Amino acid sequence: MSCPFCAIARRDLAAHVVHSDDVICAFLDRAPVRPGHTVIVPHLHVEAFDEAPLYVVTAIVAFGQQLATAMKGLYGVERVAFAFTGGDVAHLHAHVVPMDVDLRSTSPAPEDQLAWDAASLVRALERT
């Protein structure tokens, strides 16, 4: 199996990880819709939302709420979008996106922007 999200969760593939525990791994999207756009994946390879054990879904949602709180303070936004998906990569994942206007995609983020966002989110999460 060559699942990129499994490889990131195992730390076999480089990513800007902002959180990892026994159940989930969260990292910055390489082509963010907005700065701070984060993807949350379970360590367990589950392809679809309806196949996921409840503890996995709960862990993703709970961390998504914590991340949203951190993003509101860090990016000065009133709303944060949260969406479960699994269409583009066959591994259950959720996108957490600070909202300012809409969800139109941007071009790939520069490495220094990703590094700054990751470090800033880690610090903001420590305060929540």
Task: Locate the domains of the chain by residue range.
Answer: 4-126
Right CATH for 4-126 from 3.90.1640.20, 3.40.50.720, 3.30.428.10, 3.30.70.3340:
3.30.428.10
Strands 79-85 and 38-42: unpaired
Using alpha carbons, select from 1, 21, 115 the residue that is nearest to residue 9. 21
Q: What is the pLDDT along the chain (128 residues), one digit of tens a residue?
A: 589 999 999 999 999 999 999 999 999 998 888 899 999 999 999 998 889 999 999 999 999 999 999 999 999 999 999 998 766 788 999 999 998 765 555 567 788 888 888 888 888 888 87
Q: Counting beta carbons within 10 angstroms of the beta carbon of residue 99, is it exposed (0 to 12), middle (13 to 18) or buried (19 or more)?
A: middle
DSSP state of 36: T
User: Using CA atoms, how far apart are residues 124 and 23, in angstroms rounded to an integer?
Assistant: 21
